[in-house]
Amino acid sequence: MMFSKCFAGVAAFLLLGAALFGGVKDAKNVEAEVQRLLSRMTLDEKLAMIHGCGFNIAPVKRLGILPVNMSDASMGLRITPWPHSKGLEPSTAFPATILLAATWEPDMAAEFAKAVAEEFRARNMHVLLGPGVNIYRYPLCGRNYEYMGEDPFLSASMVVPYVQAVLNVGVLPVVKHFVANNSENRRKNSNSVVSERALREIYFPAFKAAVQKGNTLGIMNAYNLLNGTYCGENKWLLKDVLRKEWGFKGMVVSDWDSLWNSELAANSGVDIEMPGGKQTRVMAPKVMKRLLAEGKLSEKEIDAKVADLIRPSLMLGLYDENWKKPELNKLEEHAKVALDTARRGITLLKNADAFLPLEPEKVERIVVIGPNARNTPTTGAGSGGVRPENPVSIWDAVRKIYGDKAELLDNFDGDKIKAADAVLVCVGFNTGLKIRDFRKKKKGDSISSEQAGFNKRKFEKVKEGEGCDRKSFALPKGQPELIAKCAEANPNTVVMVTAGGGIDMIPWLHKVKAILWMYYPGQNGCLAAAEILAGTVNPSGKLPFTMDRTLEDNAAYADFHLQWSDPKPKKKAGIRTYQDVVYKEGIFLGYRHYDKTGKKPLFPFGFGLSYTTFKYSNLKLENDGDAVKVSFTIENTGERDGAETAQLYVGDVEASVPRPPKELKGFKKVFLKAGESKKVEITLDKDAFAFWHPEKRKWVVEPGAFDILVGASSEDIRLKAQTKK
């Protein structure tokens, strides 16, 4: 019953996209067409299809099955080295997905995803390999910037509209990386040892929501092992949970070179091995034929894989000759989406003495300095990389707003810094895609000398990206020293940080006036940051993760420290050796960990400052069967228009198992003019009160009292009440 309802829901949902973009017109006939094509395919054609072909799903042209092109995405269309993407013009470089999560706006996620998908369709890219929804567990994970933060409810709430918007454009999203891929160091040699309760409550929800509410048609397995079995070879994960429990009817794509055991992979539920190509790979045709001959694989299993690949393509019309829609290449419109996302997600972490905003008419001189001033990274490294269209650096943006009042220093100059009204120190991680990588040379220009700036000096280069966790919690060598030196010369120092995960701020936190957390802002995000500095945009971004005070305070510190310090994996799975990474914290990570231990983070989950103030009042609860309707009022009590993200947490007062003191179960971002107030209503369904019972192996709501907490962050609770279940 679950399967039929899910499939019917997907079919109905896609009719809108089909009508708008020319996909399958009659979704009811999709399954009949799948079976018709299967019956006409030869075994060799089937085996070629499940083997992959670079970044393509192999075609069967005699049957009208055309090549299906894939490309990495989250921050936009990535330029890959594969043949089908050669010669492509630049794409819009959108902000990092973690910045998108910092908007706390599901509608923004839909607008963002629609724009990304339109560029895919304009460039004949059928499959968007994203978004990533792995949980932010540890600040040094290289791909935190590609994900949606530490909280499963926030991630689930943002991924659903993202996936729906991509589907409505007629592009196939592949949500990744399923599951517990929470570090990049030795990602192919790492066994995530996770309790089922932690999986169900923390690491599964975003994927489950993408399947059951977003109706995604693609999932990508993770590189790592899960409890002793590689995710791409894990039948419990891909068949029992994903397909049988959740009703998933799309395709499971292997991450590139993530399969090792041919028999396990062939029977696990993964549908296509990427990138394919070599006949010695795990699911190569000759290997599959051998398994068929040995009775270790059935042709029925092969047919199921091929059906899973064909079905989504038919539903979205990917085999149509006219699927490509060049008119969707709306670079100017998409650049505005990228800018708006950054405006709503960039997060103000400190603003001592209300130093910001720096209104242009009230300042005489602003100094800009630091390795990321001229050469601001648009994104982290790896699969999130995008070749941007007309990128803007911090220096470009500040100069645009402040004109001749702004001065760029490539070297520390104490006299100039002391004389400035404000000093902007631009720091962060600097080996992703940078502005200078995409600037077009003009006759007579010397980009290497003019654009390099501080990057030519002796600043440590630290990569934050795919396949590479950071080794240190600190900023790269030279940057903390620069911040301290500037702050000593001029206390009116503002630090602008480009990073995907938390950093050590203790050495300089109390020496500076303000901190603007830019994440990776995309091609136009620096302009958004400058607008926030000037006050033409009121900051409203809030952290989608907890900023640790020290690395040792983080719940997962011991695991990651072991990964870096232990030189060799200890165990063996087939031809691979691996190392256990034990998730000892269970469900208690991020703010759940801090609430449990009583420690104070540097900045709490959900935190972000504004140039105005908000008052919460009039909390009311109304029981409606299993649901609880929560209402309250927010008033803008300041002198500027602004937006506030109200966060609704639920805490089980007394439970039979350890539970966090509170968990996010609702939120709403409210835009208010100065002096305006609005009533906010959020409904908590039964799931908001449930936990996964480790012995009963099911979701349980125990009778008793529950705290209903409303606040501006996980630590700034403004209203509290109780309800009974």
Question: Which amino acids are annotated catalytic?
Answer: 255
Q: What angle do CA 675, 678, 683 make, to 5 degrees?
A: 155
SS3 93: coil
- Give the per-residue pLDDT at 567: 63
- Give the per-residue pLDDT at 434: 52
- Give the per-residue pLDDT at 457: 53
- CA contacts within 13 A on the Cβ side of 7: 16
Q: What value does the mean pLDDT take over residues 222-246?
A: 97
Indicate if the pLDDT at residue 459 is higher than 70. Answer: yes
Contact (Cβ atoms closer than 8 angstroms) between residue 313 and residue 172? yes
The pLDDT-based confidence of 404 (bands split at 50, 70, 90) is very high
Residue range(s) of every CATH 3.40.50.1700 domain in the chain: 348-534
- Give the per-residue pLDDT at 166: 98
Contact (Cβ atoms closer than 8 angstroms) between residue 146 and residue 384? yes
The b/e string for 384-400 (b: 16+ C-beta within 10 A; e otherwise) is: bbbbbbbbbbbbbbbbe
Indicate if the pLDDT at residue 449 is higher than 50. Answer: no
Q: What value does the mean pLDDT take over residues 538-554?
A: 98
Indicate if the pLDDT at residue 8 is higher than 60. Answer: no
Q: What value does the mean pLDDT take over residues 358-381?
A: 94
Indicate if the pLDDT at residue 448 is higher than 90. Answer: no
Which of 64-78, 226-240, 420-434, 497-511 comes out lowest in average pLDDT? 420-434
Helix locations, 537-686, DSSP H:
557-565, 591-597
The pLDDT-based confidence of 454 (bands split at 50, 70, 90) is low
The proportion of the chain whose per-residue pLDDT surpasses 70, expressed as a percent, equals 90
Contact (Cβ atoms closer than 8 angstroms) between residue 595 and residue 714? yes
Convert the pLDDT of each residue in 170-222 to its tens digit. Answer: 999 999 999 999 999 889 999 999 999 999 999 999 999 999 999 999 999 99
Which of 229-233, 258-262, 361-365, 571-575 comes out lowest in average pLDDT? 571-575
Q: What value does the mean pLDDT take over residues 532-545?
A: 98
Cα 359 off chain centre by:
33
Convert the pLDDT of each residue in 267-292 to its tens digit. Answer: 999 999 999 877 668 999 999 999 99
As a whole number of angstroms, the distance between CA 68 and CA 170 comes to 13
The pLDDT-based confidence of 654 (bands split at 50, 70, 90) is very high
Q: What value does the mean pLDDT take over residues 517-526?
A: 96
The pLDDT-based confidence of 310 (bands split at 50, 70, 90) is very high
- Give the per-residue pLDDT at 81: 46
- Give the per-residue pLDDT at 185: 87
Q: What value does the mean pLDDT take over residues 50-65?
A: 94
Q: What does DSSP say about strands 493-498 and 422-428: parallel, antiparallel, or unpaired?
A: parallel
Whether pTM > 0.85 for this model: the answer is yes
Convert the pLDDT of each residue in 466-479 to its tens digit. Answer: 988 999 999 999 99
Cα 609 off chain centre by:
22
- CA contacts within 13 A on the Cβ side of 668: 16
Q: In this predicted model, which residue has the larger pLDDT, 618 or 26?
A: 618
- Give the per-residue pLDDT at 224: 96
Residue range(s) of every CATH 2.60.40.10 domain in the chain: 614-724
The pLDDT-based confidence of 15 (bands split at 50, 70, 90) is very low
Which of 23-37, 83-97, 145-159 comes out lowest in average pLDDT? 83-97
The pLDDT-based confidence of 236 (bands split at 50, 70, 90) is very high
- Give the per-residue pLDDT at 576: 81
- Considering the domain delimited by 348-534, tell me its CATH architecture: 3-Layer(aba) Sandwich (3.40)
CATH of domain 614-724: 2.60.40.10
Convert the pLDDT of each residue in 321-348 to its tens digit. Answer: 999 999 998 999 999 999 999 999 999 9
- Nearest in space to 664 (alpha carbons), one of 195, 197, 206: 206
The proportion of the chain whose per-residue pLDDT surpasses 90, expressed as a percent, equals 81
Convert the pLDDT of each residue in 555-609 to its tens digit. Answer: 999 877 776 676 666 777 777 888 899 999 999 999 999 999 999 999 999 999 9
Q: In this predicted model, which residue has the larger pLDDT, 458 or 382?
A: 382
Contact (Cβ atoms closer than 8 angstroms) between residue 110 and residue 63? no
Q: In this predicted model, which residue has the larger pLDDT, 85 or 369?
A: 369
Helix locations, 190-280, DSSP H:
196-198, 205-212, 235, 262-268
SS3 270: coil
- Nearest in space to 42 (alpha carbons), one of 31, 58, 19: 58
DSSP H or E run through 418: helix 414-419
Residue 675 one-letter amino acid: G
Give the dihedral of Cα atoms 172, 177, 178, 182; nearest 10 deg: -160
- Give the per-residue pLDDT at 279: 67
Give the dihedral of Cα atoms 213, 219, 225, 230; nearest 10 deg: 130
Please, what is the average pLDDT of the chain? 91
Indicate if the pLDDT at residue 440 is higher than 50. Answer: no
Q: What value does the mean pLDDT take over residues 150-159?
A: 98
DSSP H or E run through 161: helix 152-169
As a whole number of angstroms, the distance between CA 267 and CA 325 comes to 37
